[in-house]
């Protein structure tokens, strides 16, 4: 390992004590302000295997099993009973369209009046369900958004991450969604360390070539996610950081969202603090939404790099 690589490894003294940073300061925490968004992980199985998938989805990984329609309905009932005021239900995987009950749970969600956001690679599993998807689109106009994963604006880099023959299949699905009038946006990544403006210009040229009415400069049309390497060094977040960074606990995902998952072999689904830490048991908050409003200690590198810092740095 080179000296540069060594310097970038996470300091093993960090992210140990949930209450205190390695430097002895009170660790930052987040309280659930409102359950604006319920995320449903439909299961980790996916039709493809990306090189650096944060949740390690693949055609073989069923560590998060297919959650059922009945289980999802149970959480939607709980939201209604307790009047949590939830606005959005998001579906992520794996590839949601591989879950046999997916269109059923999506129908139930829309039927109850929620906005729904579906994350997909827009490849064959979605393509095979397009008749059902189209029915939902016409029945629940304005409630459904589909977010398509596109790792770069070039086929070469997209396929270097997602595997051969993933580009054209994705474009076919994306163009179909767009042509049918679905509300679509793109989940991009910065695998190449290009400046944000360069990336957005590249995506913009592609959108023009494809005839997509998406604005690559609009973060709602093109979300570019930072890379998530849990082994790279990052500062810890102490309570003092909120003021130093001029941000607030309420701005973090875990202040307004929870994710439900079904672990393989588990009797019941579990509620997690957010979508980013599906396997870390320290971020598991029980089986019910009602009891999941516990304070979340920001004791993971993702809390720092992905959520709070967003590329900035904090003196602690
Ligand atoms: S990664 Fe940490 S800070 Fe970000 S949403 Fe999850 S628990 Fe909250």
What confidence tens digit (pLDDT) does each residue in 187-222 have? Answer: 999 999 999 999 999 999 999 999 999 999 999 999
What is the pLDDT confidence band of residue 232, given thresholds at 50, 70 and 90? confident
pLDDT above 50 for 4 = no
Peptide bond into 94 cis (omega under 30): yes
Q: What SS3 class is residue 213? A: coil
In this prediction, residue 38 carries a pLDDT of 98
Q: Which residues contact 207 (CB under 8 A, 6 or more apart)?
A: 214, 216
What is the pLDDT confidence band of residue 5, given thresholds at 50, 70 and 90? very low
- In our burial notation (b when 16+ CB lie closer than 10 A, e otherwise), range 100-136 reads ebbbbbbbbbbeeebbbbbbbbbbbbbeebeeebeeb
User: Of the residues 225, 226, 237, 307, which should be mutated to test ligand 1's pocket, given the most ligand atoms within 8 Å of the CB?
Assistant: 307
Considering only CA atoms, which residue is closest to atom 8 of ligand 1? 254
CA–centroid distance, residue 266 to ligand 1 (Å): 24
In this prediction, residue 312 carries a pLDDT of 46
CA–centroid distance, residue 252 to ligand 1 (Å): 7
Q: Could you tell me which of 139, 149, 146 has the C-alpha nearest to residue 113? A: 139
Q: What are phi and psi of 144, to 5 degrees?
A: -115, 130
CA–centroid distance, residue 263 to ligand 1 (Å): 20
* Average pLDDT, integer, range 58-74: 98
CATH no., domain 8-309: 3.20.20.70
CA–centroid distance, residue 274 to ligand 1 (Å): 6
CA–centroid distance, residue 275 to ligand 1 (Å): 8
- For the chain, the structural domain boundaries read 8-309
Q: What SS3 class is residue 178? A: helix
Q: What torsion, rounded to 10 degrees, do the Cα atoms 17, 18, 24, 30 define?
A: 170
- Taking the CA of residue 300 as reference, the ligand 1 atom at the shortest distance is 2
CA–centroid distance, residue 301 to ligand 1 (Å): 9
How many CB atoms are closer than 10 A to CB 60?
11
> What is the token pair recorded at 184?
């679509």
Taking the C-alpha atoms of residue 48 and residue 59, their distance in angstroms, rounded to an integer, is 6
User: Of the residues 235, 276, 280, which should be mutated to test ligand 1's pocket, given the most ligand atoms within 8 Å of the CB?
Assistant: 276
What confidence tens digit (pLDDT) does each residue in 249-282 have? Answer: 999 999 999 999 999 999 999 999 999 999 999 9
Distances (CA, A) of 55 to 41, 123, 140: 11, 19, 30
User: Contact, 114 vs 143, CB < 8 A?
Assistant: yes
What is the pLDDT confidence band of residue 316, given thresholds at 50, 70 and 90? very low
> What is the token pair recorded at 267?
């009797």
Report the pocket of ligand 1 as residue ranges, CB < 6 Å.
30, 252-254, 273-274, 276-277, 283, 296, 298, 300, 302-303, 306-307
Q: Could you tell me which of 40, 173, 170, 183 has the C-alpha nearest to residue 99? A: 40
- Taking the CA of residue 237 as reference, the ligand 1 atom at the shortest distance is 3
């Amino acid at each position: 390992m080179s000296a540069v690589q060594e310097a970038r490894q996470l300091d093993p003294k960090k992210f140990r004590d949930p209450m205190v940073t390695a430097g002895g300061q009170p660790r930052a925490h987040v309280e659930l302000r409102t359950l604006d968004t319920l995320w449903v992980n439909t299961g980790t199985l996916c039709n493809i295997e990306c090189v650096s998938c944060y949740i390690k989805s693949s055609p073989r990984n069923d560590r998060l099993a297919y959650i059922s329609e009945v289980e999802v309905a149970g959480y939607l009932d709980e939201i209604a009973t307790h009047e949590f005021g939830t606005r959005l239900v998001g579906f992520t995987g794996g590839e949601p369209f591989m879950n046999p009950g997916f269109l059923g749970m999506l129908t139930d969600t829309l039927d109850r009046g929620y906005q729904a956001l579906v994350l997909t690679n827009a490849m064959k599993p979605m393509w095979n369900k397009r008749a059902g998807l189209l029915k939902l689109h016409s029945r629940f106009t304005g409630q459904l958004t589909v977010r398509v994963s596109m790792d770069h604006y070039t086929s070469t880099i997209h396929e270097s991450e997602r595997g051969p023959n993933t580009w054209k299949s994705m474009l076919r699905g994306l163009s179909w969604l767009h042509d049918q009038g679905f509300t679509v946006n793109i989940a991009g990544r910065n695998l190449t360390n290009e400046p944000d403006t360069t990336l957005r210009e590249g995506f913009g040229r592609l959108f023009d070539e494809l005839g997509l009415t998406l604005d690559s400069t609009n973060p709602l049309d093109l979300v570019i996610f930072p890379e998530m390497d849990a082994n790279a060094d990052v500062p810890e977040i102490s309570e003092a950081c909120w003021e130093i960074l001029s941000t607030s606990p309420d701005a973090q995902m875990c202040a307004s969202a929870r994710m439900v998952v079904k672990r393989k072999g588990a009797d019941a689904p579990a509620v997690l603090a957010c979508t980013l830490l599906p396997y870390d048991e320290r971020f598991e908050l029980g089986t019910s939404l009602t009891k999941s409003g516990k304070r979340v200690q920001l004791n993971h590198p993702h809390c720092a790099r992905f959520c709070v810092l967003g590329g900035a740095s904090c003196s602690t």
